Structure 1
Amino acid sequence: MKKFGKLIAEKRVLVLIISVLLLIPSFWGMAKTKVNYDMLEYLPKNLDSMKGQEILDKKFSNAANSMLIIENMESKDVLKLKDNISEISGVEKVIWISDMLDTSIPKEILPEEIKDSFYSKNSTMLIIRYTDSASSEKTQKAIGEIRNITDKQCFLSGASAIVKDTKDLSDKETPFYILIAVILSIIVLALTMESTIIPFIFLISMGFAIMYNMGTNIFLGQVSYVTKSIAAVLQLGVTMDYSIFLLHRYEEEKLKFNDRNEAMGEAIANTITSISGSSLTTIAGFLALCSMQLSLGKDIGIVMAKGVLLGVISTVTILPALILMFDKYIYKFKHKTVLPDFSKTASLVSKKYKVFIAIFLLAFIPAIFGNNHLKVYYNLDKSLPENLPSIIATNKLKEDYNMTTTHFALVNDDVPPYKRTEMIKKIEEVDGVDKVLGYDKFVGAAIPESFVPNDIKDLFKKGGYNLILVNSKYKSATNEENNQIDEIESIVKSYDKNAMLTGEGVLTKDLVQLADKDFKSSNAISILAIFAIIFAVFQSISIPILLVASIELAILINMSVSFYMGTTVPFIASIVIGCIQLGATVDYAILLTSRFKEELQNGLNKFDAMEKAVKESGKSIATSALTFFGATFGVGMISNLSIIKTLCTMMARGALISMVVIIFILPSILLVCEKLIAVTSRNWRKDSGFKIDKKTAV
């Protein structure tokens, strides 16, 4: 490692040239990486609801459609608008009442099902089908053109329109996320570090790592908009520790070596050894998300684990080169920091440890209660601002056409028509069903099959399947809706065991069931993985339990704060926050415990050892936590996307809570359990060769 460190120091110009050149493929990869704005696509493909979505997309082109509500417009003008929309590239067809009947026929004498499907009060509805998927560039462009040729009396809704608005809002806000994260990180570092220049050097170094991470996402094919939005700020907040450690180590080595290259080489070697354990815990926390059945977890987990690894590589290659290049300027602009020396804090936690252990035990009661009663929402459109055009249109669709949610039943063509008619009648009797539309509603003794227009046939019969639309009065993710889905599915399966039920309500029901399993599995795996790493670092059975318990308290407090504030959080936050907070902040606990162990091995009694450990590591823990807070807090304040806003707010809050727990609560736990630790740990008081630097931190 020393040879590697010295090589980096001596070849610093070459290192920077290579680093800059690597930005070229990174920019290319970033530009070519697709972004997925449809969260439901992350459900497992083996679910019946997802198989149904695939059939709707491939056979019926129904997964990519929009409903256009037009208010106070004469039929002739609606027809003209319909024709104009039909000519737009990316639009397959536009369906309206004119495809079935002459528009001169008064709507009052139309069959009830047809009239209610296309008319409501002073409005009418057009169904627009697209040639490509909802999130495709062609469909998104078509939606933009449709909006250009329609006016304020027209409202475009549906999954495709929601994807368009999500994309536009996310793309507009993401650069501001990075900007505010950088500004707040600079402010925090400028106040907590002794040099005015060093925050900029740190951020330049991290900027390289962030660009490499975003560029290498091309190997994944695509990333979610959630990952794209938070990856840069999260990587910045999580990996800044390593930069702080390298600088402090370099400053110490300079006192031992006259040659700067020798000092930096030694600093690099020691940094690699020291941050390997802490980076592994962070990587483990993120990789635990890959265990989720909802593949959004895998998306976030892989990107962030990769980001941490690249952050480590950048810290021991690019950052040393930059520090050596700007060495004289770093120390030219020095100032005092605003952080206290933590001597009073250290004395307090060492002397009043019984009080803090009582607080630790008592804090679990409200924390567990709040966490267990935290309200979570699964309606994905709820994560978007109410003033978005697609959300306004979706709400209008629900109010005017009673299309709160729509279920799609796919039944095999082999089921006889009379059986399908019987099935539709049973579905109509289910509580909360507003109306049912199917091909067999349009044919019968009064209307021969030959009279049914091809557009209607294509809408309901295609590829060996019959499509039945069930409009529900209930909202998705409610008990009423879920019970309704179970009853409809039971009816449909009794006529065709291979039938599939899909749609927003069904997909959301699957999402609820998966989320509960994912929450348990991802948290269990992250705890076990981090437990194993801490066990390897300290060669102890008790220390991993104590450290993880302290961070778990911080996580529970973080989650419970949302409950006590009356906040309902998106389901994804309840799943990923635990893994992220555990992986990102357990470093603080490792640092404090390592320093405590070292001081015990230096011959101090446990109280003096803890006092010194808190005093010496407090600044490093505070700097790291405040940087993490700064990188995420600003994003939480400015984001209009509820998922991003909630995730970043909870991560920022979690960093501060973890900091407080580690500085005030963990010392009391370690002091009370010190005898137990000595019995269950190898070389606890005897020097085992493992050292943590006295002046630096991870």
Structure 2
Amino acid sequence: MFEKIASFIVNKRKAFLVFFILAAVFGVFSSSWVKVSDKLSDYLPESSETKQGLDIMDESFTTFGTAKVMIYNVDYDRALEVSKEIEDIKGVSRVDFYDKSDKDYENKDIEDYYKNFSALYTISFDDVESSKLVQDAIVKVRDLVSPYDNVVYTTIDKDDAKDLNKDMKVIFVLVIIIIIAVLLFTSQTYMEILIFMLTFGIAIVLNIGTNFIFGRISFVTKAVGVVLQLALAIDYAIILFHRFMEERRYYKPKHALIKALAKAIPEISSSSLTTMAGMVALMTMQFQIGMDLGRVLLKSIIFSMLAVFAFMPALIMMFEKQIEKSMHKNFVPNIEVFGSGILKLKRIILPLFIVITVGGVILSSKTGYIFDVNSIESDKKTEYLEAKEKIEEQFGRSNIMAIVIPKEDYLREAALLKEVSNIQGVKSVTGLANIEVGNNGEYVLTDSLNPRELAEVADVDVDLVKAAYRFYALKNEQYGAFMKSIDSYRIPIINMVDFLYDQIEEGGLDIDEDTISDIVDIHKSITDARKQLESEKYSRILLIWDKPLEGEDTFTNIDNVQEIAKKYYDEAYVVGDSSSDYDISKSFGGDNLRISIVTALLVGVILLFTFQNAALPFILVLTIQGSIWINFSLPYLTGENMFFLSYLIVSSIQMGATIDYAIVITSRYLALREEISDRKKVISRTLNEAFPTIVTSGSIMAASGFVIGNITSNPTIASLGKTLGKGVVISMIMVMVVLPVLLYTFDFIIDKTSFSRKINEEENKREDEEENIIITES
């Protein structure tokens, strides 16, 4: 069957060549259709409170742009002048700084704004951060503070995707150089390198160009997808080409290619299943970033196989003469001595493996995990993270949260605001029900005042205010106000300002220009506040505290806030980076267990059918799982915390991809033990023959991981790269050192648990019984 398929592909190779080229052209254009999400919170489970709260906030509220700016080596008077200059910039609505001319300066501590000759400004803008007004304003702010030593901490002009794409271009070039260098060392002919690059170039373009079918992908997937596709699937091209070179010794090129392809299709397909199993396990995560990355990488593996099966044969036939001319000496050393040495140390290696693996299980369970991108320690930092760290170092932490509640009555909201403000570590709480008005801040915006009280607050003639109150009662058909004295009639300040502004707009009020200007200014401030704090159905409360982004103390305080909010409202959401981290931490344990079990089971079942043996799946999975446990115990040993996403993604990729190295060795071992009776020679030959494949694929994947980890400034991608690089190196060592000892030591168990052996024994037994019957009858 496979020879018929191979013959069809080779005979129709020109048609396949044209098809793939046209598909690649389409992929180049369709790649621009793919939307990229740069927030991990977009992938929270729909059932999580943070996700529900975020969706409500996106639909119901407007979030104006903000920025924190710190300048160094400046005296207070000059710092105050700078704050005034920033406030004069078009698009800036407010600059929060310590100023004795402000009415609320007595409630401020100067050290929150100025200390050690450093000044901190908290800037609020007039519109959302994506607007041209705010984009222009932040440029002017940066220009204004440029003469000083400064840092600017804002998301207004933060472009992670742009920075990451710039990094990934450098990384991609370096990875290509690494691949070429490795292939030069392990190849048989220089031409195969070009064939591999063209094959995977097509596969990459097809994968990127079809990502639009998912609507959007995460920045994590976009960044690492190409490099991982190269590292995960380079084996496929190597297998086919090496098969072709073997068959070429006995057949003419076309017939050799058919023979090679017929053998390679089932071999590559079965090898890819274990990698796919890791991607499928990743897709079972509750945190949907796993689904996003898993399905894109799964698709990349399929496209890589198709390119190797249907596109690469055309290239091989096209460059067949150049393949012959560019043959070179094999640089891969003979390592049969290494195999013999491993067996001599088997009495040390096996107990050491047990000790290290058990230690890995224990220590990896003690490894601390972090769930916020900004908590990752990375060698290369973005301007955003550097600014954040420097401001926190000088002025302490400032963690922002939001409480989203139904819009009901202001008295209940005020009670909630008061209780939340008493939580330890809370620096400020802002809602419509606690925005102060008046010279001394004796009232809040939602307080209900009588005419005399409002006249005192607004510094307006009381008779004018009484007239406005009567007009308000008449317009709102509240005739009870006329039955009693108008002096006792109370109206919320916020409602009265809205009413007066509407009457001014309609020309229904005859008052002086100064009062009209004051009302218009107050109404604008209230409107801006409402856009951010109140919608038709919901209210939002902003909470600032000095807690770290994550940790037991922070998560306990989130529970306290939720408990208080639920006491006043049946529906309440606590939203922010910390609550997102908290939700992720709660799903992490389940995702971790699910990925480990699903990956091990799928890989085990594939190995069971591949080798037709009950013991081998256990030996191979244990070898790679041991590598994973060792990899994830390293952070504990070095006193570091591990980013949760690195653990979940790398654990599935490390099992799904590096199990191939164990399969290569085991397959060679089983084949050679049929030809050679001396098991020691079998192990030596096995390692020598498997070494080129393992060192090619493993070194490419490990080097790619380390390059990603050390080049990119994105902490998420850097953490993934470093963890993957270390994991692949550990897996390579384990399959080259420990697996041969396991195969040699447990050879008798492998022999007894072979399905083919049992079938042969049953057939022999049946033949003996039939022979005995014949003899008896005779």
Q: Same fold (TM over 0.5)?
A: yes
The alignment partner of 1:22 has SS state of helix
Cα pair distance change 1:276/1:375, threshold 3 Å = same
Give me the whole-angstrom Cα distance separating, in 2, the residues matched to 1:469 and 1:569. 30
1:231 paired residue among 204, 225, 232: 225
Instruction: Identify which range, 121-130 or 541-550, moves more after superposition.
Output: 121-130
Give me the whole-angstrom Cα distance separating, in 2, the residues matched to 1:129 and 1:345. 70
- 1:77 paired with 2:85, answer yes
- Give the alignment of 1:174-185 within 5 angstroms: 174-185=168-179
Cα RMSD over matched residues?
A: 2.9
Give me the whole-angstrom Cα distance separating, in 2, the residues matched to 1:388 and 1:251. 48
2:623 paired residue among 527, 543, 550: 550
Give me the whole-angstrom Cα distance separating, in 2, the residues matched to 1:603 and 1:396. 66
- 1:46 paired with 2:119, answer no
The CA deviation at 1:419 is 2.7
The number of residue pairs the alignment matches comes to 662
Cα pair distance change 1:390/1:8, threshold 3 Å = same
Aligned twin of 2:590? 517
Give me the whole-angstrom Cα distance separating, in 1, the residues matched to 2:634 and 2:70. 44
Cα pair distance change 1:356/1:329, threshold 3 Å = same
Aligned twin of 2:123? 126
Aligned twin of 1:345? 338
Give me the whole-angstrom Cα distance separating, in 1, the residues matched to 2:103 and 2:66. 27
1:571 paired residue among 632, 636, 644: 644
Q: What amino acid maps onto 1:669 in structure 2?
A: L
2:135–2:156 contact (8 Å) kept in structure 1: no
TM-score, normalised relative to structure 2? 0.79
1:601–1:687 contact (8 Å) kept in structure 2: no
The CA deviation at 1:423 is 2.0
Cα pair distance change 1:5/1:179, threshold 3 Å = same
**Bigger Rg, structure 1 or 2:** 2
- 1:419 paired with 2:492, answer no
Give me the whole-angstrom Cα distance separating, in 2, the residues matched to 1:672 and 1:536. 23
Aligned twin of 2:94? 96
- Give the alignment of 1:440-455 within 5 angstroms: 440-442=433-435, 443=444, 444=447, 448-449=493-494, 450=496, 453-455=526-528
Aligned twin of 1:151? 142
The CA deviation at 1:226 is 1.4
Instruction: Identify which range, 609-618 or 286-295, moves more after superposition.
Output: 609-618
The CA deviation at 1:540 is 2.4
The CA deviation at 1:464 is 2.2
Cα pair distance change 1:297/1:159, threshold 3 Å = farther
Aligned twin of 1:602? 675
Give CA-to-partner distance per residue, 1:99-157, whole Å, 9 cap, x none.
xxxx9x964422767x689x9345543323655xx8xxx56x77654443322528654
Give me the whole-angstrom Cα distance separating, in 1, the residues matched to 2:310 and 2:399. 54
- 1:3 paired with 2:11, answer no
Cα pair distance change 1:242/1:684, threshold 3 Å = farther
The alignment partner of 1:35 has SS state of strand
Give me the whole-angstrom Cα distance separating, in 1, the residues matched to 2:696 and 2:686. 16
Aligned twin of 1:57? 58
TM-score, normalised relative to structure 1? 0.88
Give me the whole-angstrom Cα distance separating, in 2, the residues matched to 1:360 and 1:400. 48
1:283 paired residue among 261, 276, 280: 276
- 1:615 paired with 2:688, answer yes
The alignment partner of 2:122 has SS state of strand
The CA deviation at 1:633 is 2.9
- 1:218 paired with 2:219, answer no
The CA deviation at 1:426 is 1.6
1:6–1:261 contact (8 Å) kept in structure 2: no
The CA deviation at 1:96 is 2.6
1:633 paired residue among 669, 694, 706: 706
Percent identical = 24
Cα pair distance change 1:75/1:551, threshold 3 Å = closer
Give CA-to-partner distance per residue, 1:41-61, whole Å, 9 cap, x none.
111122111111122222112
Aligned twin of 2:235? 241
Aligned twin of 2:766? none
Q: What amino acid maps onto 1:150 in structure 2?
A: V
Cα pair distance change 1:403/1:653, threshold 3 Å = closer
Give CA-to-partner distance per residue, 1:441-475, whole Å, 9 cap, x none.
12236763335633223332222222211211111
For structure 1, the 5+ residue unaligned runs are 86-93, 689-698
Q: What amino acid maps onto 1:187 in structure 2?
A: A
The CA deviation at 1:565 is 3.6
Give me the whole-angstrom Cα distance separating, in 2, the residues matched to 1:112 and 1:59. 35
The alignment partner of 2:142 has SS state of coil
Give me the whole-angstrom Cα distance separating, in 2, the residues matched to 1:111 and 1:55. 35
Cα pair distance change 1:108/1:652, threshold 3 Å = same
- 1:190 paired with 2:184, answer yes
Give CA-to-partner distance per residue, 1:213-268, whole Å, 9 cap, x none.
1111111111111111111111111111111111111112222323x211111111
Give me the whole-angstrom Cα distance separating, in 1, the residues matched to 2:172 and 2:374. 25
Aligned twin of 2:15? 14
Cα pair distance change 1:263/1:143, threshold 3 Å = farther
The CA deviation at 1:187 is 0.3
The alignment partner of 2:574 has SS state of strand
The CA deviation at 1:19 is 1.9
Give me the whole-angstrom Cα distance separating, in 2, the residues matched to 1:654 and 1:577. 8
Give me the whole-angstrom Cα distance separating, in 2, the residues matched to 1:604 and 1:112. 91
The CA deviation at 1:77 is 3.4
Q: What amino acid maps onto 1:216 in structure 2?
A: T
Cα pair distance change 1:42/1:128, threshold 3 Å = farther
Give me the whole-angstrom Cα distance separating, in 2, the residues matched to 1:602 and 1:272. 25
Cα pair distance change 1:547/1:266, threshold 3 Å = same
Instruction: Identify which range, 269-278 or 672-681, moves more after superposition.
Output: 672-681
Cα pair distance change 1:331/1:126, threshold 3 Å = same
1:189–1:199 contact (8 Å) kept in structure 2: yes
For structure 2, the 5+ residue unaligned runs are 72-78, 436-443, 458-492, 498-521, 762-778
Aligned twin of 1:693? none
Give me the whole-angstrom Cα distance separating, in 1, the residues matched to 2:717 and 2:121. 36
2:95–2:124 contact (8 Å) kept in structure 1: no
Give me the whole-angstrom Cα distance separating, in 1, the residues matched to 2:137 and 2:373. 24
Give me the whole-angstrom Cα distance separating, in 1, the residues matched to 2:179 and 2:290. 27
Instruction: Identify which range, 225-234 or 552-561, moves more after superposition.
Output: 552-561
Give me the whole-angstrom Cα distance separating, in 2, the residues matched to 1:159 and 1:687. 69
The CA deviation at 1:399 is 6.7
The CA deviation at 1:554 is 1.3
